[in-house]
Amino acid sequence: MAWVSLVVAGLLEIVWAIGLKYSHGFTRLGATIVTIVALVASFVLLGRAAKTLPIGTAYAVWVGIGAVGAAIGGMALLGERASVARIAFLSLIVAGIIGLKLTTHAE
């Protein structure tokens, strides 16, 4: 269950990271509310996952999911540049996340 919480926390990190852009510096109420709710929920789920998983693994996976998702979201939703190199380096982050999952045992 810790891994499920961690993955959902990472997905919510993507929501709040992209929400930061849509909130325009917290000047748009709807986007600001979504951003804050996603941020709080993401931290709560990360905290729950960290009860069982090593904190280094939990934090790295959480950040990795958020970073890859925010980068992909930026390219897909915000018109950010997509290049072969950028995709290749994002793939390395994904490989690291998978590697951490495969080598970590919950306590």
Whether pLDDT at 88 is above 80: yes
Percent of the chain at pLDDT > 70 equals 98
User: From CA 86, how far away is CA 67, in angstroms rounded?
Assistant: 12
Q: What is the pLDDT of residue 105?
A: 74
pLDDT tens-digit profile of 4-33?
A: 999 999 999 999 999 999 999 999 999 999
Whether pLDDT at 59 is above 70: yes
Residues of the domain holding 71: 1-103
Which residues, in sequence order, are CB contacts of 21 under 8 Å at separation 6+? 74, 78
Segment 45-50 mean pLDDT: 97
Segment 46-68 mean pLDDT: 96
User: From CA 36, how far away is CA 28, in angstroms rounded?
Assistant: 12
Give me the chain's average pLDDT, please: 95
Q: What is the pLDDT of residue 107?
A: 55
Query: How many structural domains are present in the chain?
Result: 1
